[in-house]
Copies of this chain bind each other. A is one copy, B any other.
Amino acid sequence: MRPSLSEVKADLFKGLAHPVRIRVLELLHDAEPGELSVGELLAQTGLEASHLSQHLAVLRRYRLVESDRRGSQVYYRLAYANVGGLLDVSRALLAEVLETTHSDATAHLEEQQEAARWVR
């Protein structure tokens, strides 16, 4: 039984439905060479190796990323340009959501956003 279009879309969104995986995809989206090694992702996320690896496996399963082993290192990149498009729109959607939220919550989230920028 082949999946319906909605089921394929739902799978794509499932891949995006976890904060760590969003973070990883954003790092890949923003990376200058368009890809990052697992080691670099580990450094930038501060995660434990097997934790990140399990999430990367989910991203591979749902075809949001592609991987490429070169020697002992594995590089990941977004599988499709429109994955980046989803990230961009989600950013715009979040801004829209935040515009309608309490100003104290907004201030707090803006602080976190500044901190994230600084870390990068």
Instruction: Name A residues whose Cβ lies closer than 8 Å to a Cβ of B.
Output: 2, 4-10, 12-14, 16-23, 63, 80-83, 85-86, 88-90, 92-94, 96-97, 105, 108-109, 112-113, 116
| A10-B5 in contact given A83-B93, A97-B63 (Cβ < 8 Å) | no
Residues of B near A83 (CB, < 8 A) are 93
Look across to chain B and name the residue whose beta carbon is closest to the beta carbon of A80.
Answer: B96
Residues of B near A8 (CB, < 8 A) are 94, 97, 109
> Do the beta carbons of B96 and A92 come within 8 Å of each other?
no
Bound Cα distance from A19 to B84, whole angstroms: 21
12 further interface pairs, Cβ-Cβ under 8 Å (given A9-B22, A9-B94, A85-B93):
A2-B109, A5-B112, A9-B16, A10-B22, A12-B94, A13-B13, A80-B97, A82-B93, A82-B96, A83-B93, A85-B89, A88-B89
Q: CB < 8 Å: which of B13, B90, B112 contacts A4?
A: B112
Q: Which of A9, A22, A82, A109 is packed against the most chain B CB atoms within 10 Å?
A: A9
